[in-house]
């Protein structure tokens, strides 16, 4: 079923409705997984002081995405009609939290952006340079959905959080990247025939702004697959140009004389741990 949005207005004392572009709707939901997956450990919640509450992907950045797994009390006009939400801690245990953080960090690795689980880093960051992602089974903000976010909220001066309600490291991680994408200005990657607002990908690949729960390779997209509903939006270009930050500084130059030296031992063996880098953008 194709989703539609309507705007209500008055004219000559009458009330009317007209269809508007759904891409202009402020808040966007994320689908729940259609396939069953392994359940997170609801019997163990990462305890206060655990190492998983001090993870940072890029500490030198002044732009922060805070992954909040330990519960949060929220009063926000955009969620639950402005009524309080007492969000329970995530059901993910320490290993699962670290896995979700690693998945999300890798998706945003090219950008000058710190993906962190440290609340003190978040609170020390200006409101218009941060966003909180609340991982919780409490779905008051979007009952029945996998997550919810407000489009373009990251650079706003309002501190509106987004939400992830899923409880495995893979599902929570994929949904987390998707919701963060919405806060950075991204819309859904769907498919036209048959129509689905969320494209599930093909082979091993899926778009982050579609549904990546079932694929091994999940990436940002610019709608280059057949039948794309969102072929006008280049995800990476939007992220790097609309939120105050861009790409990380390249560790190597673009000519041979500026390349990094290959490190190898006396036997000519190249060590993967000593030879690595970030591909921040395609030249």
Amino acid 132: pLDDT: 98
Amino acid 233: pLDDT: 96
Place of tokens 């994408």: 181
* C-alpha to C-alpha distance for 250 and 273, rounded to whole angstroms: 19
* Residue 231, CA distances (Å) to 58, 192, 202 in order: 31, 11, 17
Residue 33 banded pLDDT, cuts 50, 70, 90: confident
List beta partners, residue 162. 133
* C-alpha to C-alpha distance for 54 and 115, rounded to whole angstroms: 11
The model's pLDDT over 130-152, given as tens digits with 9 standing for 90+, comes to 999 999 999 999 999 999 999 99
* C-alpha to C-alpha distance for 48 and 64, rounded to whole angstroms: 21
What integer is the mean pLDDT of 30-55? 71
Task: Give the chain's domains with CATH numbers.
Answer: 25-241 (3.40.390)
Place of tokens 């979007």: 142
pLDDT above 70: percentage of residues in the chain: 82
Average pLDDT, the chain: 86
* C-alpha to C-alpha distance for 76 and 82, rounded to whole angstroms: 5
The model's pLDDT over 229-272, given as tens digits with 9 standing for 90+, comes to 999 999 999 999 999 999 998 766 667 766 777 788 888 788 78
Phi-psi region of 80 (alpha: psi -120 to 50; beta: other; left: phi over 0): left
**Residues 133, 65: contact at Cβ < 8 Å?**
yes
Q: How many residues does the chain have?
A: 283
Amino acid 38: pLDDT: 43
**Residues 64, 122: contact at Cβ < 8 Å?**
yes
Of 23-27, 59-63, 113-117, the poorest mean pLDDT is in 23-27
* C-alpha to C-alpha distance for 97 and 170, rounded to whole angstroms: 10
The model's pLDDT over 57-95, given as tens digits with 9 standing for 90+, comes to 999 999 999 999 999 999 999 999 999 999 999 999 999
The model's pLDDT over 1-17, given as tens digits with 9 standing for 90+, comes to 444 544 444 555 555 45
Helix/strand/coil (H/E/C) assignment for every residue in the chain: CCCCEEEEEEECCEEEEEEECHHHCCEEEECCCCCCCCCCCCCCCCCCCCHHHCCECCCCCCCEEEEECCCEEECCCCCHHHCCEEECCCCCCHHHHHHHHHHHHHHCCCECCEEECCHHHHHCCCHHHEEEEEECCCCCCCCCCCEEEECCCCCCCCCCCEEECCCCHHHHHHHHHHHHHHHCCCCCCCEECCEECCCCCECCEEECCCCCCCCCEEECCCCCCCCECCCCCCHHHHHHHCCCCCECCCCCCCCHHHCCCCCECCCCCECCCCCCCCCCCCC
The model's pLDDT over 185-220, given as tens digits with 9 standing for 90+, comes to 999 999 998 999 999 999 999 999 999 999 999 999
**Residues 113, 130: contact at Cβ < 8 Å?**
no
Residue 105 banded pLDDT, cuts 50, 70, 90: very high
Amino acid 230: pLDDT: 94
Amino acid 41: pLDDT: 45
Residue 159 banded pLDDT, cuts 50, 70, 90: very high
Amino acid 154: pLDDT: 97
């Amino acid at each position: 079923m194709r989703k539609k949005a309507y705007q209500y207005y008055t004219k000559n004392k009458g009330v009317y409705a007209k269809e508007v572009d759904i891409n202009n709707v402020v808040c966007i939901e994320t689908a729940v997984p259609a396939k069953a997956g392994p359940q997170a450990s609801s019997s163990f919640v990462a305890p206060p002081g655990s190492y998983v509450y001090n993870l940072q992907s890029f500490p030198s950045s002044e732009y922060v995405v805070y992954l909040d797994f330990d519960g949060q009390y929220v009063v926000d006009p955009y969620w639950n009609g402005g009524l309080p939400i007492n969000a329970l801690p995530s059901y993910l245990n320490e290993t699962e939290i670290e896995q979700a953080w690693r998945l999300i960090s890798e998706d945003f690795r090219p950008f000058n952006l710190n993906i962190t689980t440290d609340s003190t880093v978040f609170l020390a960051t200006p409101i218009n340079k941060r966003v909180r992602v609340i991982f919780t089974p409490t779905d008051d903000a979007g009952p029945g959905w996998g997550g919810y976010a407000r489009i373009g909220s990251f650079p706003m001066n309002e501190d509106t959080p987004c939400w992830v309600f899923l409880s495995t490291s893979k599902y929570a991680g994929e949904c987390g990247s998707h919701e963060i994408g919405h806060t950075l200005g991204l819309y859904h990657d769907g498919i036209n025939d048959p129509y689905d607002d969320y494209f599930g990908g093909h082979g091993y690949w899926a778009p982050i702004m579609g549904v990546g729960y079932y694929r091994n390779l999940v990436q940002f997209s610019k709608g280059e697959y057949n039948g794309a509903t969102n072929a006008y939006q280049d995800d990476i270009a939007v992220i790097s140009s609309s939120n105050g930050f861009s790409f990380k500084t390249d560790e190597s130059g673009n000519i041979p004389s500026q390349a990094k030296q290959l490190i190898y031992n006396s036997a000519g063996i190249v060590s993967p741990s000593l030879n690595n880098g970030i591909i921040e953008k395609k030249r």
